[in-house]
Amino acid sequence: MDYVSVLERTLVHNFLHFLIPALATWIFYRKDWRSSYIFLMLTMLVDLDHLIADPIFDPQRCSIGFHPLHSEIAITIFALMLIHKKLRIFGFGLLIHMSLDGLDCAWMASFSPGIPNS
Ligand SMILES: [Zn+2]
């Protein structure tokens, strides 16, 4: 595979934001899968920090380390949320989200034309 188009990568990335939480609820929260999936979907609100970026959406921009709620400090707080039982599912969802965004960054660097591999 020479490269994946930006549109294809963006579509796969966004699809994974729905699929991976669904798989996580099936594996870890099967008993309460409906409410768990809703909670995991609510963690996508973390992308509201894109609203203060210019442009708001840039498919060639790595979210991790750029947006405030995608910073190392924020990700550390999300990991600490795993400790508290009532916050755990939100921390879990946010870490899934950050993992998928990080995967997109790696994918972007590896396959997108015009982005040099370092
Ligand atoms: Zn994100």
Between CA 46 and CA 9 the distance in angstroms is 20
Contact in structure between 49 and 69 (CB atoms under 8 Å): yes
Rounded to the nearest whole angstrom, what is the distance from the C-alpha of residue 48 to the centroid of ligand 1?
9
> How many angstroms is it from 50 CA to the middle of ligand 1?
8
Q: How much distance in Å is there from the Cα of 55 to the middle of ligand 1?
A: 15
pTM of the model: 0.88
How many CA atoms within 13 Å lie on the side-chain side of 54? Answer: 0
What tens digit of pLDDT does each residue of 44-62 get?
999 999 999 999 999 889 9
Distance 65 CA to ligand 1 centre (A): 11
The pLDDT tens digits for 80-116 are 999 999 999 999 999 999 999 999 999 888 875 555 5
| Whole-angstrom distance, CA of residue 34 vs CA of residue 19 | 14
| Other residues' Cβ atoms within 10 Å of the Cβ of residue 87 | 15
How many angstroms from the chain centroid is the CA of residue 92?
Answer: 11
Domain ranges of the chain: 6-110
Cis ω on the peptide bond leading into residue 116 (within 30° of 0)? no
